[in-house]
Chains A and B, each alone.
Chain A
Amino acid sequence: MSRFKVSLHIVPRRGLLDPQGKAVADALHTLGFKSVGDVHVGRHLILDVDARTAGDAEKDVRAMCQRLLANPVTEDFEIAGVTAA
């Protein structure tokens, strides 16, 4: 068993109204950052997970996303990285 650090992003599903992202985009435009198009605000999670391999750790975290961490109706998730902790 080893310990892995698994990081993941949870983002609002594309196409759904994301008022937080829109507010941030508007603020950036006000500050003069004209290059910014759409902004989406989500969550970044970092989990310490005990597993045999990095692949097992990722599999465990995917199961956690499906049960609790992401809402299957409105959010998508992606594993950003798995490293030895």
Chain B
Amino acid sequence: MKFGIVVFPGSNCDHDTYRAVVDVLGEKAVYLWHKDHDLADSDVIILPGGFSYGDYLRAGAIARFSPIMTEVIAHARRGGPVLGICNGFQIACEAGLLPGALLRNASLQFVSAPVRLRVVNASTLFTSAFEAGQELVMPVAHGDGRYTADAATLDELEDRGQVVLTYVGSAPNGAMRDIAGIINEGGNVMGLMPHPERAIDTALGSTDGLGIFESMLARVGA
């Protein structure tokens, strides 16, 4: 199974993601340059964390119009899996692949810390390795992670099981309904603020992130 990791100017978790896929999961990964138009036959596209285009204008707003995004959006529309992590989540929202937006943390502070998460929906492409209700620990590292949408959208997300991960305790960023990760209606695009690729080794304090990658492998690689 092949993971395509998009590299934007300012991406800084692309190498961590590559290492998670290749060294820990034992699968193939390729970097996809933002100016290219070729997904290199990747099965899964990952939009990694970082500060694409310096977060200018709004986080993800400019990356969303990178040449490669035309192909990423087409891949998603065909039902191809896309995982947006942190800045990748912001880009996926800006691109309209996921509803809502991620605004400045309510505290106005950049938050870099391990957080506790609850798996709300364990039947998705990205979370089937977990149990519903299971608690996970993964790090967050962001200044713009306050998930925001109108009340009708939030109700729909909850009713349809599209809220996949929530923060346990108070959300570190003031996210509405404590949302840490959501999935689109088609079930093939997920965005989350925590970093699963930084929770794949006991030396890093947690291996809970591995389940996200193992879920994709079990469902897409099968």
* A binding-site residues for B, Cβ under 8 Å: 12, 16-17, 19-20, 23, 68-69, 71, 73-74
B141 within 8 A of A: no
Contact A17 B58 (CB under 8 A): no
Assess A69 versus B57: contact at CB under 8 Å? Given A16-B148, A23-B108.
yes
- With beta carbons under 8 angstroms apart, the residue of A20, A71, A73, A74 that contacts B108 is A20
Chain A residues with Cβ below 8 Å from B150 are 73
Also in contact, A73 and B104, with CB within 8 A (given A16-B148, A17-B174, A68-B57): no
CB distance from B52 to the nearest CB of A (A): 14
Bound CA span A23–B108, Å = 9
Check A73/B107 contact, CB under 8 A, given A68-B57, A68-B61: no
Interface size on B, residues (CB 8 A): 21
Distance between Cα atoms of A56 and B170 in the complex (Å): 48
Q: How far is the CB of A34 from chain B (nearest CB, A)?
A: 23
In the bound complex, what is the Cα–Cα distance between A71 and B149 (angstroms)?
A: 12
Residue of B nearest to A45 (CB): B57
A69 to B99 Cα, complex, angstroms = 18
Does B94 have its Cβ within 8 Å of any Cβ on chain A? yes
CB 8 Å contact bits of B85-121 with A (1 = contact, 0 = none): 0000000011000011101111110000000000000
Residues of A with C-beta under 8 A to B101: 71, 73-74
For chain B residues 139-187, which have a beta carbon within 8 Å of chain A? Answer: 146, 148-150, 174
